[in-house]
Amino acid sequence: MENINEKFATIEKDLLAPVKWGKKSIIWMGFLMVTLVVCMFFYYQQIRNGLGVTGLNDFVSWGIYISNFVFFVAASLIGMLISSVLGLAGSKWIMPISRIAEIIAVSFAMVAGLIIISDMGRPDRLHHVFLHGRIQSPIIWDIAIVLTYVAVSVLLLYVPLIPDIALLSKKQNGLPRIQKWMYKILSLGWANHPNQYKLIKKYFKLLAVLIIPIALAIHTVTSWLFAMTLRAGWDSPIFGPYFVSGAFVAGCAAVTIGMYFFRTSYNLKSYITDYHFDKMGKLLVLVALVYVYFNINEIIVPAYKLKGGEAEHLKSMLFGHDALMFWLVQIGGLVLPFILLLFKKMRKPLPSLIISSVILLGAWFKRYLIVVPVQQHPYYPIQNVPDSFMHYTPTIAEIAITVASFVLFLIIATVLSKIFPIIPIWELKEEVKEQIQ
């Protein structure tokens, strides 16, 4: 019994230690804030001068903002895969990393909504979407589902946090009073009562089931923003599953990167171990294979027939204007990394980090390839327009605003991981208890 108490004490000590504002984290936050302010200056320019400050034009009206939006929604799906699908299927190994996955999901989902607003020339008319929106438009479905997804994701993060918040409220010293007060409110009078555990386990299960269709819906509807239009390259019935499978690849890579950074900077090497990286590497191989399968379908089926507009689009992808990026993304950002991950040595933390970073970078450019080149090959030929209309190059303002979205993501993720323990303490304790008994 003493043994177990000692173990509990170590767990609490190790996992509560990062929950404070150290020098390093303040410098890191300061850096993020300064970057954000610099980037927001460009957003101010965009508000003042309109979307003219971007590289968007008559033909390519969806540029890196929308590509980035698709990427953010994609990466946010990982919370559902790890906590819900694997959790409900009874995988034990996901426990220490489930909260990381949920924090990444919530942060990406929250910023995704803002990215949409950054693509609007008149964000002051945002409410018009709700007042005058046509329910027949996938854009309305997307907005409804993004808001719902953020709400469910926040709850899915919050419900299993309650016991840990209560612990923080009780044990963590040296925090600002307002933070203490916040813990007290958020712990909802938690007293480690067995019925309380029963209750949150029940709610967690309900939310974990609920989030599966919602997460599938959010990314399927995002794919429908494209697939519901009559455009060569978007007009594809497999766009939903194609997007969802791609989302898991990006999400797994993001979680692996997150795991590495939390593990090293929060001193969690004995909690997030090589075993977890090994498991994540295997999961990444699985989802990458599914995604490769969808990629093959998405390209070979129209490429075999090469009809009309599809032909022009595919030719530019396979050996034309966008070929370099296309092959770098497909081979370098997807096929090669998953082949490397087949080797056990490559699933160690550092190689995992490098491979995942390449995959995540590839995933971002993959979204660019899905969104932008299609618009350069409309069915109705581009004629009698200035030369500049036929190409799309993002401007500095546009890049800065996109960088801002990543900075905002990092800020939300950092704050969440700094005010809450990144590994579920009570669940870990339960596991230790089970092991001893």
- Give the residues lining the site for another protein (CB under 8 A): 132-136, 141, 144-145, 148, 151-152, 155, 159, 162, 188-191, 193, 195-196, 199-200, 203, 206-207, 210, 214, 384
* Environment class of 375 (CB within 10 Å of its CB; exposed 0-12, middle 13-18, buried 19+): buried
Distance between CA atoms of residues 74 and 260, nearest Å: 20
In the complex, the smallest distance separating the C-beta of residue 140 from another protein, rounded to whole angstroms, is 8
199 HSE (CA, 13 A, CB side)? 11
Neighbours of 278 (CB within 10 A): 18
Distance between CA atoms of residues 429 and 425, nearest Å: 6
Phi, psi of 237 (to 5 degrees): -70, -15
In the complex, the smallest distance separating the C-beta of residue 254 from another protein, rounded to whole angstroms, is 25
Residue (23 or 134) nearer to another protein, CB: 134
Residue (148 or 273) nearer to another protein, CB: 148
Per-residue exposure over 407-428, b if at least 16 CB sit within 10 Å of its own CB, e if not: bbbbbbbbebbbbbbbbbbbbb
Distance between CA atoms of residues 47 and 53, nearest Å: 9
Residue (185 or 350) nearer to another protein, CB: 185
Residue (168 or 288) nearer to another protein, CB: 168
Distance between CA atoms of residues 313 and 232, nearest Å: 7
Residue (184 or 321) nearer to another protein, CB: 184
Contacts of 108 (CB under 8 A, 6+ apart): 72, 73, 75, 76, 254, 409
Q: Is 412 in contact with 32 (CB distance < 8 Å)?
A: no
Residue (116 or 254) nearer to another protein, CB: 116
Residue (145 or 268) nearer to another protein, CB: 145
Q: Residue 353: which H helix or E strand, with range?
A: helix 349-375
Question: Which amino acid does the sequence have at 42?
Answer: F
In the complex, the smallest distance separating the C-beta of residue 144 from another protein, rounded to whole angstroms, is 5
At how many degrees (to 10) do helices 274-305 and 95-118 cross?
40
In the complex, the smallest distance separating the C-beta of residue 298 from another protein, rounded to whole angstroms, is 25
Tokens 């559902």 belong to 80
In the complex, the smallest distance separating the C-beta of residue 230 from another protein, rounded to whole angstroms, is 12
Question: Which amino acid does the sequence have at 300?
Answer: I
In the complex, the smallest distance separating the C-beta of residue 148 from another protein, rounded to whole angstroms, is 5
Residue (5 or 136) nearer to another protein, CB: 136
Residue (27 or 199) nearer to another protein, CB: 199
Phi, psi of 309 (to 5 degrees): -60, -35
Distance between CA atoms of residues 296 and 249, nearest Å: 16
In the complex, the smallest distance separating the C-beta of residue 309 from another protein, rounded to whole angstroms, is 21
